[in-house]
């Protein structure tokens, strides 16, 4: 069964780069432009992993992860934060919210795919 990954980022160009890498690796991909849209996408079906930015309008990535983890259905869904934020305090805030990995932009697709494969074993 194909695994589904949700990309939550306000940059459409970044979502495109991430989507292309994930689709080429065999994943199905959903997209959202901020945390609120991300929560709406989660209501539509099963998501196996989430790649989320931190800085977004309406609902940022940390608030999105906190809200996500309140829902029993998504409590154990792994989240990779893909962001320009690299400060230790922000990383700790993300981990406390429930993020499993933290990657700083710019990133390279093989690095992202490696993180995804570690969190979504075959």
Number of domains observed in the structure of the chain: 1
**Residue with the two structure tokens 């993300």:** 94
Q: Which pLDDT score, from 0 to 100, does residue 122 have?
A: 67
Q: What percent of the chain has pLDDT over 70?
A: 99
> d(Cα 64, Cα 110) in Å, to the nearest integer?
25
Which residues, including other chains, have CB under 8 Å from residue 106's CB and lie 6 or more apart? none
Containing structural domain, residue 89:
4-119
User: What is the average pLDDT value for the chain, to the nearest integer?
Assistant: 93
- The pTM score is 0.94
CATH of the domain at 104: 3.40.50.2300
**Mean of pLDDT values over 24-51:** 95
- How many Cα atoms are found within 13 Å in the side-chain-facing hemisphere of 122? 4
Output the furthest CA–CA distance in the chain (Å, rounded): 38
Q: Which pLDDT score, from 0 to 100, does residue 79 have?
A: 97
């Amino acid at each position: 069964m194909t695994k589904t990954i949700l990309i939550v980022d306000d940059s459409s160009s970044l979502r495109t780069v991430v989507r292309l890498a994930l689709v080429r690796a065999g994943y199905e991909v959903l997209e959202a432009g901020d945390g609120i849209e991300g929560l709406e996408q989660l209501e539509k079906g099963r998501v196996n992993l989430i790649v989320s930015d931190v800085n977004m309008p309406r609902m940022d990535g940390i608030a999105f992860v906190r809200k996500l983890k309140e829902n029993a259905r998504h409590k154990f869904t792994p989240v990779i934060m893909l962001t320009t934020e690299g400060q230790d305090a922000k990383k700790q805030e993300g981990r406390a919210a429930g993020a499993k990995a933290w990657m700083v932009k710019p990133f390279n697709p093989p690095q992202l795919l490696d993180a995804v494969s570690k969190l979504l074993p075959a």
